[in-house]
Chain A
Amino acid sequence: GESVGLHLPTLSVQEGDNSIINCAYSNSASDYFIWYKQESGKGPQFIIDIRSNMDKRQGQRVTVLLNKTVKHLSLQIAATQPGDSAVYFCAERTNDYKLSFGAGTTVTVRA
């Protein structure tokens, strides 16, 4: 079956720099995408979402970009802080409102 994947399993970033986390998806029928942040010992936390009729959406310090032509999704975090250290998952919504998750990218922020 089709699934969501991530380009890199780990990302190390200097505090204050911008982070970019990438995600490739393969289901062209997916209509909705979500980025989650999961800190150690906690459940996934909703960060930001984007519908397939958009190509960019901004939140507080985060921006999600969607390129449907190449089936690519990215999460940009501005001015990365130590509290941003976590595992980040992208997820695509397929039929029946179910989510399919990528493998996850571990972000480590260096002081």
Chain B
Amino acid sequence: SAVISQKPSRDICQRGTSLTIQCQVDSQVTMMFWYRQQPGQSLTLIATANQGSEATYESGFVIDKFPISRPNLTFSTLTVSNMSPEDSSIYLCSASGGEFFEQYFGPGTRLTVT
């Protein structure tokens, strides 16, 4: 299984600012994803981070708000731009690889926007 780390683990930010979350995997993986989990809720996929090309966003999420980078097979970043209190959530990175493309998650980044 892949070991995934995220930085920062939590942050409190002012509205109108941006935060970049980093995701590091301990081995090369085929696919990386970013999810949002609002308090007490399930996980919602934001986008698939594609290595060497633009991310693929799910309905309701746009690149201007959530720009994503994936410069190599072990690292990705998600930026939450022009934040508002509605962006307060847990942001989770996941990685998928192996024979059956099992998907593993990082510990999450807990974001509070004031």
For A42, the closest partner residue in chain B by CB is B107
Given the complex, which residues of A lie within 8 Å of B66, measured CB to CB? none
Q: List 7 A–B pairs whose Cβ atoms lie within 8 Å, in order of A's numbering.
A: A43-B107, A46-B103, A96-B48, A97-B101, A99-B103, A102-B42, A104-B42
Indicate if A103 sits at the interface (CB-CB under 8 A).
yes
A interface bracket (residues with beta carbon within 8 Å of B): 20 to 34
For B104, the closest partner residue in chain A by CB is A46
Count contacts between A and B, CB distance < 8 Å: 54
Describe B's contact surface by its main secondary structure.
strand
Most chain A CB neighbours (cut-off 10 Å) among B43, B44, B48, B94: B43
A-side interface residues toward B, CB under 8 Å? 32, 34, 36, 41-46, 49, 51, 89, 91, 93, 96-104
Q: When chains A and B are docked, how far (Å) is the Cα of A93 from the Cα of B1?
A: 18
Given the complex, which residues of B lie within 8 Å of A98, measured CB to CB? 33, 45, 48
Q: When chains A and B are docked, how far (Å) is the Cα of A102 from the Cα of B41?
A: 10
Q: When chains A and B are docked, how far (Å) is the Cα of A80 from the Cα of B68?
A: 40
Which of these, B43, B92, B102, contacts A49 with CB under 8 Å?
Answer: B102
Contact A44 B48 (CB under 8 A): no
